[in-house]
Amino acid sequence: MRSQRRGDIVAGCFIALLGAVVIIAASRIPGDPEERLPPRTLPYAVGFMTLAGGAGLAFRSWRYRGQDLAIKWPDRDGALRIAVNLLLLVLYIALIEPLGMPIVTALYVAAAIWYIDRKRIVAALLTGAGSGVVVYYLFIKLLELQFPLGLLQR
């Protein structure tokens, strides 16, 4: 029988491993240490936060001694939801270069929110647009990180 505790331990270990991979990949990003904010700064921060969050989840679940909840494997609808979200993530990664980070972020966030709750199309579009604006002004303009601009560059 699958349990919430076991699932959290496995998920935490996987997330921590993902964080470690991000840290290793970030260490290979070329950049001048004399720059105000080297290009690997944000990936390092994300990697360390992901590693710490995953390790924390796994450790907390490992130490938990209360009633363990039994969980079911996702049914057909749950598996479809997971598959669609993975497809959206693949499309996000594939479209970063041609469309640019702000536009593809807006589209990804809007599509993911709309897929989860189809009654709130306006909220999905507004949240997606807001996410794209935040990515553009915070990461590209303010922090001067080198994300692809795609269509905005032309």
pLDDT at 154: 63
As a whole-number percent, the residues of the chain with pLDDT over 70 amount to: 95
Per the DSSP assignment, residues forming a β-bridge with 139 are none
Q: From CA 77, how far away is CA 25, in angstroms rounded? A: 34
Provide the 10 A C-beta neighbour count for residue 106.
Answer: 23
Which one is predicted more confidently, 75 or 121? 121
Which one is predicted more confidently, 149 or 51? 51
Answer whether 57's CB lies under 8 Å from 49's CB.
no
Instruction: Check residue 141 and report its DSSP letter.
Output: I
Which one is predicted more confidently, 33 or 128? 128
Mean pLDDT of 41-47: 88
Answer whether 124's CB lies under 8 Å from 72's CB.
no
Answer whether 44's CB lies under 8 Å from 26's CB.
yes
CA-wise closest residue to 6 among 63, 74, 79, 62: 62
Mean pLDDT of 92-120: 90
pLDDT at 32: 72
Provide the 10 A C-beta neighbour count for residue 122.
Answer: 9
pLDDT at 24: 93
Using only the alpha carbons of the chain, give its radius of gyration: 19
Q: Please, which pLDDT band fits residue 126 given cuts at 50, 70 and 90?
A: very high
Q: From CA 91, how far away is CA 83, in angstroms rounded? A: 12
CA-wise closest residue to 2 among 83, 75, 72: 72
Q: From CA 75, how far away is CA 72, in angstroms rounded? A: 8
Which one is predicted more confidently, 38 or 62? 62
pLDDT at 23: 93
Q: Please, which pLDDT band fits residue 1 given cuts at 50, 70 and 90?
A: very low
Q: From CA 56, how far away is CA 28, in angstroms rounded? A: 26
- Taking only the tens place, the pLDDT of each residue in 49-93 is 999 999 999 999 888 877 776 777 777 888 888 899 999 999 999
Q: What angle do CA 30, 13, 108 make, to 5 degrees?
A: 60
